[in-house]
Amino acid sequence: MDQSLYKNIFVFVEQRNGQIQNVSLELLSKAQELNEKLNEQVVAILLGNHMDEQAHELISYGADIVLYADAPEFSIYNTEPYTQAVNQLVQSYKPSIILIGATTIGRDLGPRLSARIETGLTADCTALEMGDDGHLLMTRPAFGGNLMATIVCKEHRPQMSTVRPGVMMKGLKDISRKGNVEKVNIQFDSSKFKVKILETVKETKNLVDITDAKILVSGGRGVGNAEGFKKLNELAKTLRAEVSSSRAMVDLGVVSHDRQVGQTGKTVRPDLYFALGISGAIQHLAGMEESDFIVAINKDKDAPIFQTADLGIVGDVNQIVPLLNEKLQKEMK
Partner 1 sequence: MKIIVCIKQVPDTTEIKLNPETGTMIRDGVPSIMNPDDKGGLEMALNLKDQFGAHVTVITMGPAQADQILREAYAMGADRAIHLTDKRFAGADTLATSNALAGALRMLEYDLIITGRQAIDGDTAQVGPQIAELLDLPQVTYVEDLQFANDTFTIKKANEEGYQIVQVETPCLITVLASANEPRYMSVNGIMTAYQKEVEVWGFDNISVDETKLGLKGSPTRVFKSFSKGAKSVGQKYEVDPKMAVEIIMEKLKEKFII
Q: Is 1 in the site for partner 1 (CB under 8 A)?
A: no
Q: How far is the CB of 324 from partner 1 (least distance, A)?
A: 5
Question: Interface with partner 1 by CB under 8 A: which range of 35-43, 59-67, 119-127, 183-191?
Answer: 119-127
Query: Does residue 141 touch partner 1 according to CB under 8 A?
Result: yes
Q: Does 304 bind partner 1 (CB under 8 A)?
A: yes
Q: Are 145 and 264 in contact (CB under 8 A)?
A: no
CB of 198 to partner 1, least distance (A): 5
3-state secondary structure 39-69: CCCEEEEEEECCCHHHHHHHHHCCCCEEEEE
Closest contact distance (angstroms) between CB of 39 and partner 1 is: 23
CA distance 112 to 242: 35
Is residue 314 a contact point for partner 1 (CB under 8 A)?
A: yes
Which stretch, 30-38, 55-63, 66-74, 102-110, contacts partner 1 (CB under 8 A)?
Answer: 102-110
Nearer to partner 1, 131 or 134 (CB): 131
| CA–CA distance, 44 with 178 (Å, rounded to integer) | 14
147 binds partner 1 (CB under 8 A): yes
**80 near partner 1, rule: CB under 8 A:** yes
- Asked if 269 is part of the footprint of partner 1 (rule: CB under 8 A), the reply reads no
Residue placing its CB nearer to partner 1 in the complex, 175 or 332: 332
**What is the DSSP-derived secondary structure letter of residue 225?**
S
Name the minimum Å distance from CB 59 to partner 1: 26
Cα separation, 179 vs 302, whole angstroms: 55
Question: Which is closer to partner 1, CB of 125 or CB of 168?
Answer: 125
Q: Is residue 5 a contact residue for partner 1 (CB under 8 A)? A: no
Phi, psi of 222 (to 5 degrees): -65, -15
Q: Other C-beta atoms within 10 Å of 33: how many? A: 17
Residue 289 as a binder of partner 1 (CB under 8 A): the answer is yes
In the complex, least distance from residue 188 CB atom to partner 1, rounded to whole angstroms: 15
Q: What are the residues facing 40 on neighbouring strands?
A: none
Q: Is 208 among the residues that bind partner 1 (CB under 8 A)?
A: no
For position 235 contacting partner 1 by CB under 8 A, the verdict is no
In whole angstroms, give the CA distance from residue 108 to residue 126. 19
DSSP secondary structure, 226-284, as one string: HHHHHHHHHHHHHHT-EEEE-HHHHHTTSS-GGGBBSTTSB----SEEEEES----HHH
With binding defined as CB under 8 A, does residue 191 bind partner 1?
A: no
Q: Using CB atoms within 10 Å of the CB of residue 331, give its burial: 0 to 12 exposed, 13 to 18 middle, 19+ buried.
A: exposed
Q: Report the DSSP beta bridge partners of residue 87.
A: none
As measured in angstroms, the least distance from the Cβ of 282 to partner 1 is 6
- How many residues sit close enough to partner 1 to count as binding (CB under 8 A)? 90
Give the residue, chosen from 4, 39, 92, 104, that forms a contact with partner 1 under the rule CB under 8 A.
104
For the bound state, the minimum distance from the C-beta of residue 121 to partner 1, rounded and expressed in Å, comes to 6
Strands 215-219 and 242-245: parallel
Alpha-carbon distance of 77 to 108, in angstroms, equals 10
Contact between residue 80 and residue 192 where contact means Cβ atoms under 8 Å apart: yes
